[in-house]
Amino acid sequence: MGSVMVMLNLGGAVALLLFGLALVKDGMTLAFGPRLRKGLHAGTRGPVRAFVAGLVATVLLQSSTATALMIASFVERQLVAGTAGQIVLLGANIGTAITAWLVASGTAWVSPLLILAGYVLRRSRDTNTRKGGGNALIGIGLMLLSLHHLTAATEPLRESPALLSFIALLGNALPVALILAAVLAMISSSSLAVVVLILTLSQSALLSVPLTFALVLGANIGGAVTPVLATLRAPAATRRVMFGNLGVRVIGALAVMPFAEPLAAWLVSLKLSPAMLPVDIHLGYNLVLGLIVWPLSGLLSRAMERLIPDDPARDFGPEFIAEHELKTPLMALSSATREVLRIGDLIEAMLMRTITAFETGTRTPLAEIPDLEARVDKLQQAVKLYLSRLNRSQLSEAEASGSMNLMDYAINLEHVGDIIEKGLAEEVFKKIDSGLVFSPDGEAELRELFDITLHNLRIAQTVVVSHDINLARQLMEIKERVRTVEKRSAENHLLRLQQGRRESMQTSSLHLDILRDLKRINAHLVTVAHPILDDLGLLRESRLREPDAAPSRVPSAPPVQG
């Protein structure tokens, strides 16, 4: 029974540590997510900034895995080059080592203070920044608390003959110890958690210095496996960065392992604190590895390009519509629907790139807009011609109507693509190129309308397939919200102009142009709901009031001044 309680206590302490880590990561993401992503992206414009950005982001998020996945999304969208991505991850590796060192240095009395402060902060005001910051403080407090429980849970293990025998076996088989730590880090998706566990066992005087060395190296390898598994189906550019990071950790560990015992003897001679030895090894190893690999990051990036070839070139013509299906109109309609959804996906990609450029202030996301618009034009033309060749005599009235509605939606999507390419993208490019900055209020208003537009596009895509009445009604209701948001933003902007706010005066035409284009895009998207609601008699033909509700006398026009 005693051994069962020991394992329960140990498992609970480890779970508390992992829960604290997750709270910190989620809290920081909630509080500063957009700013962290923006800062991380901005930090990749030079090697030193990339290194620092990876380090700082990891210290804040308490997770090199989170930083790796964040940078993976940038590489996937071609916002960050492969070499910069490799340098960011070198900084992230050192960041997680610094985090482990800071956690190990924390004192027990700070834990309840942090938890109390975090609880008060998240309850003080219902804002994402306060709530996220409060969660992060609670998470750090729980991590420090878990160290106390881990130490208490491992106390009885010092007297366990079975554990002592197992550790003795590991001490004589350091490669096995390395693999065991790597597996534990991979399972927990956190090298930090495993290093803290190693720290606790080391403080209990259960581990020799060479064994500690091997376990820390294994935890470093395991921490790089999770991002690799998460990006296995990502584009080649993303996989190169993740596999490159894993390769660096594996090669570094294999290079150091033969010298584990001499290095351990050297560390003992330095008279470092035994209580901090695992985190000292973790930090020192990553610092040395980072300094060695940093100058070779370009070479590493080119080597990964040779090892992981480019993705096969895709034909961006129609994928789903087929000539032989025209003989079976119902199948042809189904295939045409899939093709139109693909057009919508391209429009979403265009919109996402425009939003990214707007938020990050970088031109790179806009580079692909013309190519995406050309694909939209090509697919829209192919779908339109395909649907026009359907044998109408074989279609029911509802199917014929559906065919026309599908064609109308494809045409409207093509119009949206034109607005994004010739309107929004040009306006965002002008903002970036001229170094213009919106007022905080103005930027928030535009971001709100960008988010609504993206949401509307996704609803419209669903309505095309489902013909759901509630979603169609929701799309029409959001149209009114768009009109309200656009009008309110324009009025607020004019008010800021009257107040003489410099940012508003510099960006006046841009602000109003972006509002106008987003409103036009939403007007095109909402047309997908018109046929569904019109068939049910839920749509008015005119927005004019009924005659009996109109005023009895129309005011006369003012006389024309000659």
Per DSSP, the three-state class of 489 is helix
Helices (H), 420-507: 425-433, 440-466, 469-498, 502-506
- Asked if residue 225 has pLDDT above 50, the reply is yes
Q: Enter the DSSP assignment of 557.
A: P
What is the set of domains in the chain, with CATH numbers?
2-307 (no CATH), 323-540 (1.20.58.220)
**What pLDDT was estimated at residue 550?**
46
**What pLDDT was estimated at residue 419?**
93
Sign of CA dihedral 281, 284, 290, 293: negative
Tell me which H or E stretch contains 90.
Answer: helix 82-105
**What pLDDT was estimated at residue 521?**
92
Two tokens, residue 422 = 């010739």
**What pLDDT was estimated at residue 347?**
93
**What pLDDT was estimated at residue 561?**
38
Which single residue is written with the structure tokens 């656009």?
A: 486
Encode pLDDT of 237-269 as tens digits: 788 888 988 898 899 888 888 887 788 788 777
- Asked if residue 544 has pLDDT above 90, the reply is no
40 burial type by CB count under 10 A (0-12 exposed, 13-18 middle, 19+ buried)? buried
CB 239 within 8 A of CB 246: no
**Other C-beta atoms lying within 10 Å of the C-beta of residue 211:** 25
CB 335 within 8 A of CB 320: yes
Share of the chain above pLDDT 70, in %: 78
Tell me which of 211-225, 398-412, 532-546 is least confident.
532-546
Across the chain, what does the average pLDDT equal? 78
**What pLDDT was estimated at residue 35?**
61
Residue 541: pLDDT band (50, 70, 90) is low
State how far Cα 393 lies from the chain centre: 49
CA-closest candidate to residue 121, choices 111, 131, 108: 131
DSSP secondary structure string for all residues of 209-278: HHHHHHHHHHHHHHHHHHHHHHTTTS-HHHHHHHHHHHHHHHHHHHHHGGGHHHHHHHHHHTT--GGGHH
Residue 438: pLDDT band (50, 70, 90) is confident
Tell me which of 107-111, 189-193, 396-400 is least confident.
107-111
- Asked if residue 434 has pLDDT above 60, the reply is yes
- Asked if residue 77 has pLDDT above 70, the reply is no
Share of the chain above pLDDT 90, in %: 6
Helix axis angle, 297-307 to 236-256, nearest 10°: 120
Residue 492: pLDDT band (50, 70, 90) is confident
Tell me which H or E stretch contains 111.
Answer: helix 110-124
- How far is the C-alpha of 228 from the C-alpha of 237, rounded, in Å? 12
**What pLDDT was estimated at residue 555?**
43
- How far is the C-alpha of 13 from the C-alpha of 154, rounded, in Å? 10
What is the rounded average pLDDT of the residues 391-395? Answer: 72
Residue 98: pLDDT band (50, 70, 90) is confident
Amino acid at 159: E
